[in-house]
Amino acid sequence: MRPGRSRFAIALTSSLGFDETTAPSPILSDTRQFVICWLDEKTDLNTLKDSKQREHLMTDLRTLQSWWNRRDFLKRSAAVAAGVYAVRWGRAAAADMPLEFDGSKFLLKAAEPNPKHGGVVRMGIPVRPPHFDLHQSGTIFNLGAMGCMFDNLIRRDPRDGGKTIIPDLAHSWQIAKDGKTYTFFLRQGVQFSDGAELTADDVKATFDRIAKPPQGISIPRSILFKAVGEIKARDKYTVEFKLSEPRPVDFMMSALASGFNVVLRKKTLEDNNYDLRKVQVYPGTGPFRSVKYTENEVWIMEKNKNYWNKELPYVDGIEFYNVLPFSPEMASAILANRVDYVFATDPATYRKAVATPAMSTVTHYQSVLHATMINNKRKPFEDQRVRRAMHLALDRPALLEVVKDVAPMISGGFLYPFSDYAAPQQERDKWLGYQADPAAAIKEAHALMAAAGRGDGIKGLDFMVREIAIFKLWSQAIQAMLKESLNIECNLRTVVDSVWFADAASGNYDLAIGGLVSALLDPADYFNAWYGKGGPQNYSLWSNQEFQVLSAEIDREIDAEKRQDLIRRAEATMEQDPPLLPVAWERIHELWYNYVKGRNPQNSFGIYDTVRHDTVWLDKA
């Protein structure tokens, strides 16, 4: 019945092949390796490899062994713009020198030549926010439509799928030699949509809230900033982050650039007691403004005519139509051209789009683990033997088969399976719970249940299911697997997003299937957020002392080989004491009509960092 596990070839973006040269005033780095490039803001990254006009500012480049936190940065990465840097992330240590960057002349433009202004782009995406607070959110159901109303301190470049960090509200920055002080210089004259000017006080208030959420506020990415001790507004346009201990520069800059970490007005936060969950529209500095919101139907945006980057946005407006991921409604909307663009569509629709000359398609990884959470505070799930038995009982190739016509997924364990951090697939496929033949895993699961005093099974479990097609299908399959293998009986309870997130956060469930989202590929992010004690997405309420010690060491360790050993030890710990039941890791099919330009999601890691759509334009007469 099981033909064996599928093999997935993971293709990493090739090195850009930069030459190393010296130049006046070297202005980088910590323990990683940097190459500075001075490029025109419309440079095509694909042309860089053979370009003879590259200037690189770097001294003492040593051996290049990859370890960074985004798939393409595992090798090398390039940035674009006048004065914008290209970064090469590796394991080898370079001399500690301050990192400075002057991007005061940089303004983002579309990658394509001669972009056109005008028109309204129609996007078919989930527009079913569980609430309206972007910082407290962890779902595209918020960010997909709301992101275009805001800006970040620094951002991911939409022209290269988000692989590169470029200026945003901060045009320049300095990083101290000891890696403990980050200083950002803000653009002047930037206005919020209510007419107030952006100042360093707004940035400070924003990141104070993210780094140390007030009582009753839960922000999934706060864990990224646990090394931040103090944030200062040095003057009206300068903000300074003081770290209690150094972190890798790439990690901190990526944390700041996360698409969710938009800059808000200090007064907005104060006026709403720092909780925006029920505030549908609040001031932003972004390229679009809200015009009309119809719940579960459409969110209409118009161009911000006072946007600080006068070149952007190109379109006059965006209409976000609510269609759920992988749904028939999404498929019919794009194929009938009722919308111009969709993401997260089903494989059949993707194949039809590939065969349609008027359409473009891209498939890339997504920063999401789909998993079944296990409430560790309820009996018998405090017993790791029961949780491991359930982990071993899942037939993961069968679970991929269940959704193969609905969503493009890949199998994996507790770490992103396509990253260099995780055990290689050929090694993982030998572990119990991942083998093509499940017999040995089921035998071990029975022994564990018997040792835990649960040889007769468990009855009456509350299995909460998020109301999305893949979770409905998987929950039924998991319900059957647990019953057949371990005599564990579950009652399925399907709920809308707002109920799922509320009940998951409060522990009102036995089992709960849904998605976990990370900002970074680096385990220092999601180890803390998903599996760490008190982590904002640790819905299972799992706590393992050995893992916590390892995770803290991983956060601080700079040596790549030592760090990798710590990560593998943490992975082995979770296999024996599962915090949750990994189901599958997500991939994304993005589809759009050829007249839609400025969407460049190739080789993206997720969809959360490039949702502003300011470089999107329509090639129509």
Q: What's the mean pLDDT when you consider all of the chain?
A: 84
- pLDDT value at residue 604: 79
Q: Based on C-alpha coordinates, what's the Rg of the chain?
A: 24
* Cα–Cα dist 610/607, whole Å: 6
Where does the pLDDT of residue 509 fall: very low under 50, low under 70, confident under 90, or very high at 90 and above? very high
- pLDDT value at residue 510: 98
Using the 8-state DSSP alphabet, how is residue 307 labeled? -
- 3-state DSSP assignment of residue 107: coil
> Letter for the amino acid at 420?
D
Q: Is the pLDDT of residue 84 over 60?
A: no
Where does the pLDDT of residue 379 fall: very low under 50, low under 70, confident under 90, or very high at 90 and above? very high
Where does the pLDDT of residue 605 fall: very low under 50, low under 70, confident under 90, or very high at 90 and above? confident
- pLDDT value at residue 520: 86
Rounded mean pLDDT of 120-133? 95
Judge residue 538's burial from the number of C-beta atoms within 10 Å of its C-beta, 0-12 exposed, 13-18 middle, 19 or more buried.
Answer: buried
- 3-state DSSP assignment of residue 384: helix
Query: In terms of Cα–Cα distance, which of 327, 611, 321 is closest to 467?
Result: 327
Query: In terms of Cα–Cα distance, which of 57, 8, 1 is closest to 29?
Result: 57
Rounded mean pLDDT of 261-265? 98
What residues does each domain of the chain span? 366-586
Rounded to the nearest angstrom, the gap between the alpha carbon of residue 184 and the centroid of all alpha carbons in its chain is: 23
- Fold observed for domain 366-586: Dipeptide-binding Protein; domain 3 (3.10.105)
Where does the pLDDT of residue 263 fall: very low under 50, low under 70, confident under 90, or very high at 90 and above? very high
- Tokens matching residue 405: 């016509």
Query: In terms of Cα–Cα distance, which of 205, 211, 213, 209 is closest to 233?
Result: 205
Q: 524-554, pLDDT tens digit by residue?
A: 999 999 999 999 899 999 999 999 999 999 9
Q: How many CB atoms lie within 10 A of CB 270?
A: 10
Per mean pLDDT, which range of 44-48, 149-153, 185-189, 342-346 is the poorest? 44-48
- pLDDT value at residue 521: 87
How would you classify residue 585: left for phi > 0, otherwise alpha for psi between -120 and 50, otherwise beta? beta
- pLDDT value at residue 169: 98
Per mean pLDDT, which range of 89-98, 352-361, 411-420 is the poorest? 89-98
Q: Is the pLDDT of residue 376 over 80?
A: yes
Where does the pLDDT of residue 394 fall: very low under 50, low under 70, confident under 90, or very high at 90 and above? very high
Report the percent of the chain where pLDDT is more than 70: 84
Q: Is the pLDDT of residue 63 over 70?
A: no
Rounded mean pLDDT of 193-213? 97
Evaluate whether 256 touches 153 at the Cβ level (below 8 Å). Answer: yes
Q: Is the pLDDT of residue 44 over 90?
A: no
* Cα–Cα dist 617/313, whole Å: 8
Report the percent of the chain where pLDDT is more than 90: 70
- pLDDT value at residue 250: 84
Q: 190-202, pLDDT tens digit by residue?
A: 999 999 999 999 9
* Cα–Cα dist 466/285, whole Å: 33
Q: 348-373, pLDDT tens digit by residue?
A: 999 999 999 999 999 988 889 999 99
Cβ contacts of residue 195 below 8 Å, gap of 6+?
none
Q: Is the pLDDT of residue 146 over 90?
A: yes
Helix 469-486 vs helix 384-393: angle between axes, to the nearest 10 degrees?
Answer: 110
Rounded mean pLDDT of 232-243? 98
* Residues in a beta bridge with 372: 513, 581
